[in-house]
């Protein structure tokens, strides 16, 4: 949007929720400092929301509130999209770009589904699109993938990218809480939404995995390409078993560019208590990046929360405003590759499988035989812990049997577990966790 190069840079904010209100606070309260860093004054020209009466924070001038989101998109130099979801967010972002505005967004779902379309639109129109807050909250991970490591070859990334699930698992580990109790505690403290499905089922982490893979491997990776397992099946028995083996359970996002192609997966895994990720507590996030020349890098920090996320948003605003003040745009996102996606049966790992079994002779031998028949080698066996479940159809004692495999493919492992569960001596639902080796 052409304008006098001495006039204030106009900023429009779409969404005044937790992150949006904190973003507005930083822009309003730090306007003078931000303008000095940019080299030109900035001005918040509008805040779009569904109901202006619900916006009560003192730092947002009520005259700025509007329900005309589409109109606001066309009268700003920078549009900050914090609405969330796919629509109407996608429509508003594309409208802002079409009008010549740069865009800052924290919308991981939007980018995981429509990122390449939006990146191409911004490049064609000659405007910036920045989204540091879409992955890892305040952690600077997007910019290094997009710019700092662009001269290197990233081969893999793994980490904890969802603060809600990390908080829940951490509370289950350190306080011995059941999943439902830990979830309720997370909701009471504001770490989990009233509807936590996106977090606890792994979808939020999957969106971030898609974005990381797209940036790191320079190839389009959609949310539809990501395989997802959440943490709703994790029980106090799983946590106790992990603790007994000096391990912790963490929900991981893992993206790799291997011989079989690009893979992006989200799943709970067992991690040795001495691994750096094991010490990531509460709502913090951490991401490991491996690149051919740079080797291993770790990014750590607050992965959620209004103020930390707003910090990343405003950092992007300053970057784009500097470009506007200097009459340039930042680097585009080069998606020049079309790498094939790795098939599911190419996924291999070490697995820890926990069965609930009838405590009688021959059970272990029968289960071991099923593993042998399917060609899976067992690396370790443990029967120390007592489970909390009782089998109504069996009057004897229920025992917990935990098997750790050698590395094997996931498809065969799950076929083996299904066969074992068909045995009369197996009760309940088995637990399957990967082991980070």
Residue 19 annotated as binding site = yes
Q: Are residues 281 and 189 both part of a single domain?
A: yes
Q: Are residues 58 and 160 both part of a single domain?
A: no
Q: Are residues 128 and 250 both part of a single domain?
A: no
Q: How far apart are CA 165 and CA 388, in angstroms?
A: 23
This prediction's pTM: 0.93
Residue 368 annotated as binding site = no
Burial 49-84 (b: 16+ CB within 10 A, else e): beebeebeeeebeeebbeeebeebbbebbbbbbbbb
203 HSE (CA, 13 A, CB side)? 10
Residue 21 annotated as binding site = yes
Q: Are residues 153 and 293 both part of a single domain?
A: yes
Q: How far apart are CA 395 and CA 8, in angstroms?
A: 78
**Closest C-alpha to 37, from 286, 314, 303, 230:** 314
pLDDT for residue 384: 65
The domain that contains 366 carries what CATH number? Answer: 3.30.70.260
pLDDT for residue 428: 84
Give 44-64 pLDDT, tens digit per residue: 999 999 999 999 999 999 999
Q: How far apart are CA 160 and CA 209, in angstroms?
A: 10
pLDDT for residue 360: 87
Residue 16 annotated as binding site = yes
264 forms bridges with which residues in the sheet? 255
Residue 368 lies in a domain: yes
pLDDT for residue 2: 46
Q: Which residues of the chain have pLDDT under 50?
A: 1-2
The domain that contains 114 carries what CATH number? Answer: 3.40.50.720
**Cα(first)–Cα(last) distance of the chain, in Å?**
52
Q: How many domains is the chain partitioned into structurally?
A: 3
Q: Which residues contact 91 (CB under 8 A, 6 or more apart)?
A: 70
pLDDT for residue 191: 83
Nearest 5°: the CA angle 390, 232, 88 is 155
Residue 216 lies in a domain: yes
The reply to whether 208 belongs to the active site is yes
Q: Are residues 89 and 216 both part of a single domain?
A: no
Give 172-224 pLDDT, tens digit per residue: 999 999 999 999 999 998 888 889 999 999 999 999 999 999 999 999 999 99
Q: Are residues 202 and 314 both part of a single domain?
A: no
The size of the chain, in residues, is 437
What percentage of the chain exceeds 70 in pLDDT? 97
pLDDT for residue 1: 46
Q: Are residues 297 and 161 both part of a single domain?
A: yes
Other Cβ atoms within 10 Å of 435 Cβ, number:
19
pLDDT for residue 41: 97
Q: Are residues 294 and 172 both part of a single domain?
A: yes
Ramachandran angles phi, psi of 257, nearest 5°: -120, 90
Other Cβ atoms within 10 Å of 335 Cβ, number:
18
Residue 393 annotated as binding site = no
Q: Are residues 149 and 108 both part of a single domain?
A: no
pLDDT for residue 207: 98
pLDDT for residue 42: 98
The answer to whether residues 26 and 50 touch, using CB atoms and an 8 Å cutoff, is no
- Catalytic residue (one of 113, 184, 208, 360): 208
pLDDT for residue 196: 94
Residue 26 annotated as binding site = no
């Amino acid at each position: 949007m052409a304008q006098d190069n001495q006039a204030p840079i106009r900023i429009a904010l779409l969404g005044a929720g937790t992150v949006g209100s904190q973003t507005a606070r930083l822009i309003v309260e730090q306007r003078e400092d931000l303008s000095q860093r940019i080299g030109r004054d900035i001005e918040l020209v509008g805040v779009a929301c569904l109901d202006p009466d619900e916006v009560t924070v003192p730092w947002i001038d009520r005259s700025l509130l509007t329900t005309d989101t589409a109109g606001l998109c066309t009268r700003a130099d920078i549009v900050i999209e914090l609405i969330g979801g796919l629509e109407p967010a996608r429509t508003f972002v594309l409208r802002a770009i079409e009008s010549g505005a740069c865009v800052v967004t924290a919308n991981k779902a939007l980018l995981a589904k429509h990122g390449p379309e939006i990146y191409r639109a911004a490049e064609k129109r000659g405007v910036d699109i920045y989204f540091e807050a879409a992955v890892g909250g305040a952690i600077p991970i997007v910019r290094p993938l997009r710019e700092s490591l662009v001269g290197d070859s990233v081969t893999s990334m793994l980490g904890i990218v969802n603060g809600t699930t990390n908080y829940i698992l951490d509370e289950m580990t350190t306080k011995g809480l059941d999943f439902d109790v830990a979830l309720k505690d997370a909701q009471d403290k504001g770490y989990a939404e009233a509807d936590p499905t996106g977090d606890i089922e792994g979808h939020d982490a999957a969106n971030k995995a898609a974005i990381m893979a797209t940036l790191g491997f320079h190839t389009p990776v959609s949310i539809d390409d990501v395989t997802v397992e959440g943490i709703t099946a994790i029980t106090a028995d799983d946590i106790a078993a992990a603790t007994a083996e000096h391990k912790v359970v963490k929900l991981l996002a893992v993206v790799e560019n291997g011989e079989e192609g690009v893979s992006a997966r989200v799943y709970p895994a067992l991690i040795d208590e001495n691994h750096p990720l094991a010490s990531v507590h509460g709502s913090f996030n951490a991401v490991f990046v491996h690149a051919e020349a740079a080797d291993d890098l770790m990014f750590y920090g607050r992965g959620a929360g209004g103020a930390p996320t707003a910090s990343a948003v405003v950092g992007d605003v300053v970057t784009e405003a500097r470009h506007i003040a200097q009459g340039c745009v930042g680097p585009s996102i080069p998606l020049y590759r079309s790498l094939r996606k790795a098939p599911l049966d190419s996924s291999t790992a070490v697995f820890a499988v926990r069965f609930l079994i009838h405590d009688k002779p021959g059970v272990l031998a029968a289960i071991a035989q099923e593993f042998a028949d399917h060609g899976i080698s067992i690396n370790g066996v443990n029967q120390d812990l007592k489970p909390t479940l009782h089998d109504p159809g069996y009057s004897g004692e229920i025992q917990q049997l935990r098997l750790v495999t050698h590395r094997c493919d996931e498809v065969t492992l799950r076929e083996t577990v299904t066969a074992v569960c068909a045995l009369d001596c197996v009760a309940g639902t088995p637990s399957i966790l990967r082991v980070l080796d």
